Amino acid sequence: MIALSVLTCAVLVSTVFAHSPGSPSRIDPWNDDYANTPDLSFSGVVSFAHLPHEKCLDRPESAFDIALLGVPFDSAVSYRPGARFGPNGLRSGSRRQRPDRGYSSRLEINPYASGLTLLDCGDVPVTPFDPAAAIAQVNAAYRSMLHHPVASEEAMKELNMQKGLDGQYHPRIVAMGGDHTIVLPILDALHEVYGPVSVIHFDAHIDTWNPTRYIGSVSLQADVNHGTFFWHAYEKGFIKPNASIHAGIRTRFSGPEDLTDDVTAGFDLIHTFDIDDHGVDWISNKIKQRIGKGPVVISLDVDVMDPSYVPATGTPESGGWTSRELRRILHSLVGLNIVAFDIVELAPAYDSNGEISAIAAADMVYDFLSILALGVDAQSIEGKTGGRPTDEL
């Protein structure tokens, strides 16, 4: 017993000494054997693709070239709510992506190792109680993000990225919604920097409905929702006249007047069945001919894909494109003068337990990043010569 007590005391003394200030030794078995072990796909804080992350809105000095920004707003949906959890779903769906294993054999690029600085900038903390106030918050947040300093001005120049009207480079932002209404304040912010822009709109629905004929529009605030926002953008002059296009449309209409309003708002239309009649190349060429050389925004509602691939959305429509078909179309748009992306209407509560919707949506974001990293075809910006060639897929 005496020997045991002496041994116990010795261990206690040794332990206290090892942890006392100024101790010459330190117990750190993790770093001794496993220092700098990277997080695996299922571990760590969940940022998009395990990218560095910070709340950029609180740090205006943060410099980046491409930001991923969550916009958890769904107070203006017409059917199933839940897209406020879309940013979280997208990040979760991206867990198997990572910067050190991001090379695309199809596009021959790793967007995470392209010389551009990518940052997950967290979410805009929008209020869920007042849609008008939330829309103002989204606009303020996006405008602030656009005026953060870029980290790699030389890389943006090399990639032929367009400067703003102020003659300066501005970061490219991938907005992760949220319902589609968020694009109205986003277009407002982009218009301030670039002037009127074209839109490539992937969706099952046109979203140019005139609010005077939209069911449920019972007030001025109700007139602004995820089915009317492009009409408001047209009326406010945010969209370049006759230079935008929908792709993947297959919804029902009140009548021909809806399509007349769509033309008035500046859009052409590709039906979902056109992929069967004409193929991917035809769709790609029609988009490019419509858009031309000016600055363009790609806005992707996940319901453009068939519900069998993406059930987790608020207004599903049968007969959509597969995720493979959509990704092939996206790949064909390399080289366009793209100044912003958004992906919206992912509502994870309706997903499968295998997260098939979130994974597909996160892969679309990966393609967005790859397209940006491949740069702008020199011929896609008026007045520029030379530049990086791009592959026509």
Domains and CATH numbers, the chain: 46-380 (3.40.800.10)
User: What distance in Å separates the CA atoms of residue 385 and residue 79, rounded to the nearest whole number?
Assistant: 48
Q: Residue 267 has which token pair? A: 């859009």
**What is the model's pLDDT at position 223?**
86
Please write the tens of the pLDDT for every residue from 107-165: 999 999 999 999 999 999 999 999 999 999 999 999 999 999 999 999 999 999 999 99
| Weakest-pLDDT range from 206-215, 325-334, 371-380 | 371-380
For the cut 80, the answer to whether the pLDDT of residue 19 exceeds it is no
Please write the tens of the pLDDT for every residue from 72-123: 999 999 999 999 999 999 999 999 999 999 999 999 999 999 999 999 999 9
Mean pLDDT in residue range 221-242: 93
The pair phi, psi for residue 92, each rounded to 5°, is: -65, -40
Q: What percent of the chain is modeled with pLDDT above 90?
A: 82
Find the helix packing angle between 323-331 and 280-291, rounded to 10°: 50
For the cut 50, the answer to whether the pLDDT of residue 59 exceeds it is yes
β partners of residue 313: 346
Please write the tens of the pLDDT for every residue from 169-203: 999 999 999 999 999 999 999 999 999 999 999 99
The pair phi, psi for residue 338, each rounded to 5°, is: -90, 125
Buried b (16+ CB within 10 A) or exposed e, 311-341: bbbbbbbeebbebebbbbbbbbbbbbbbbbb
Residue 372's nearest CA partner among 345, 333, 344 is 333
pLDDT band at 11 (very low <50, low <70, confident <90, very high): very low
Q: Residue 111 has which token pair? A: 């967007």
Task: Please give the model's pTM, rounded to 2 decimal places.
Answer: 0.88
Tell me, what amino acid is at 367?
A: D
In terms of phi and psi (left: phi > 0; alpha: psi -120 to 50; beta: otherwise), the region of 167 is left
Q: What residues contact residue 11 under an 8 Å CB cut-off, 6+ apart?
A: none
pLDDT band at 14 (very low <50, low <70, confident <90, very high): very low
**What is the model's pLDDT at position 214?**
77
- The edge-to-edge listing of strands for the beta sheet with 118-123 is 118-123, 66-71, 172-177, 338-344, 296-301, 198-202, 244-249, 267-271
pLDDT band at 240 (very low <50, low <70, confident <90, very high): very high
Bind-site residues: 180, 203, 205, 207, 301, 303
In terms of phi and psi (left: phi > 0; alpha: psi -120 to 50; beta: otherwise), the region of 249 is beta
Mean pLDDT in residue range 312-328: 97
Bind-site residues for Mn(2+): 180, 203, 205, 207, 301, 303
> Contact at 8 Å (CB) between 150 and 317?
no
Q: Residue 117 has which token pair? A: 């600085």
**What is the model's pLDDT at position 225?**
86
Sign of the Cα torsion 93, 96, 102, 104 reads negative
In the three-class reduction of DSSP (H, G, I as helix; E, B as strand; rest coil), residue 164 is classed as coil
